[in-house]
Amino acid sequence: MNKGALALLIHGGTQNWSPERWKSRFDDVCKDRRVWLLPDPTCDAAEVCYAAVWKPRSGELAAFPNLRVMFNLGAGVDALMADSTLPKVPLVRVAVGDLTARMTEYVVLHVLMHHRQEPYLRASQREKRWAPRFQWPASAISVGIMGMGTLGSDAADVLRRLGFRVSGWSRSPKQLEGISCFHGNAQLDTFLQRTDILVCLLPLTPETQQILNRGLLAKLNPNSPMGAPALINAGRGGLQNEADILECLDDGTLGAASLDVFAQEPLPPDSPFWTNPKVVLTPHNAADTDPDEISKYVARQIERFEAGGALENVVDPGRGY
Ligand code: NDP
Ligand code: OXD
């Protein structure tokens, strides 16, 4: 095995997403190179040319003197960007159809849940209350998506095809069929004022930290047909000011929130989000990356890189995403 070795540094995860499962997937697709699952005291750091990582601790990647490429096993790279010792080699993130499709499912599920008043209907059922409510058509509801990258633009297209009025907000200008596109801080208020359901799929960077705060949420359409606007955040917990969100839910600035991500994960048992009746909560699993799919994606990229080809989905360290 004289090809550069691959080190796996994986913190967290579930049974189907365990470090051992990743190791077995990578062993299958990298048959002619050594794959180390760390920590492993026998690993020779100098042999490691590639690292595939999830939430590596600060300093862990700096231990490999001959590292050539880092692969993040998810889409969001905020955990790596926070490491001041991160090696200055390309960082590749996940942008694949499988992950995008999963996120679009989550977004559509939660938009429909609020649009079709599912929390109210489930509460009525529990109370044996036969109390239908007026049903607005999708065309009466304006969904605004913050973050129109790989994930946001796909969700926007599917929502548009379901009949919703869809707007998107990004850093740079975009032109997407049937979507009203806004960009930059100068157009943020106009985007917010027309939005009944706000979906956040931004990356966490110094510019987006706690962007979901009272000031921003108070600008959403106060005359929403839904009574009050709803928030869906599947980006990162650091994007939200959690005290502000709870206050906005209490005082009616927000009618409901679907939250997949939190400032502290796992969410502590005493968090008020668990029991707030206006909150639909999921444990950061809006869209998992699939070890089968992603090990092949990484192996393909390494082969191409070693043959002199270009890496795909390389993070711009200046932008932080
Ligand atoms: P992309 O990099 O493809 O897209 C990011 C989008 O955000 C782009 O449209 C970008 O604008 C926009 N953006 C970034 N910074 C700003 C800013 N300061 N102002 C306005 N717009 C900004 O990322 P993905 O779509 O692949 O993923 C988005 C995020 O989703 C990830 O970073 C991750 O945190 C989260 N995620 C969560 C998962 C979960 O299970 N909860 C699963 C997967 C991802 P522009 O287009 O102009 O560059
Ligand atoms: C990701 C995630 O960034 O799962 O891919 O959060």
| 3-state secondary structure (DSSP) of residue 168 | strand
Task: Output the pLDDT for position 239.
Answer: 98
Task: Output the pLDDT for position 16.
Answer: 80
What is the atom index within ligand 1 of the atom nearest the CA of 208? 18
Find, among 30, 21, 18, the residue nearest to 298 by Cα. Answer: 30
Burial zone of 203 (CB within 10 Å; 0-12 exposed, 13-18 middle, 19+ buried): buried
What is the atom index within ligand 1 of the atom nearest the CA of 168? 9
pLDDT for 1 beyond 80: no
Q: How far is the CA of 225 from the centre of ligand 1 (A)?
A: 28
Task: Output the pLDDT for position 13.
Answer: 75
> At 71, phi and psi to the nearest 5?
-115, 120
Q: How far is the CA of 149 from the centre of ligand 1 (A)?
A: 6
Q: How far is the CA of 254 from the centre of ligand 2 (A)?
A: 26
Please determine whether the domains at 5-96+289-306 and 99-281 fall in the same fold group of CATH.
yes
Identify which ligand lies nearest to the alpha carbon of 187. Answer: 1
Burial zone of 114 (CB within 10 Å; 0-12 exposed, 13-18 middle, 19+ buried): buried
Establish whether residue 286 lines the binding site of ligand 1, counting it when its CB lies within 6 angstroms of any ligand atom.
yes
> Contact at 8 Å (CB) between 245 and 212?
yes
| pTM > 0.75: yes or no | yes
| 3-state secondary structure (DSSP) of residue 193 | helix
β-bridge partners, 35: 6
Establish whether residue 230 lines the binding site of ligand 2, counting it when its CB lies within 6 angstroms of any ligand atom.
no
pLDDT in tens, 279-315: 999 999 999 999 999 999 999 999 999 999 999 999 9
What's at 196, amino acid-wise? D
Strands laid side by side in the 279-281 sheet: 180-183, 165-170, 142-146, 197-200, 230-233, 256-259, 279-281
pLDDT in tens, 115-124: 999 999 999 9
Average of pLDDT values for 237-262? 98
pLDDT in tens, 46-76: 999 999 999 999 999 999 999 999 999 999 9
Sorted by where each begins, the domain ranges of the chain are: 5-96+289-306, 99-281
Q: Does domain 99-281 have CATH number 3.30.1050.10?
A: no
Residue range 5-96+289-306, CATH number: 3.40.50.720
Contacts of 109 (CB under 8 A, 6+ apart): none
pLDDT in tens, 156-167: 999 999 999 999
Identify which ligand lies nearest to the alpha carbon of 289. Answer: 2
Which residue's CA is the closest to the ligand 2 atom numbered 5? 74
Average of pLDDT values for 189-212? 98
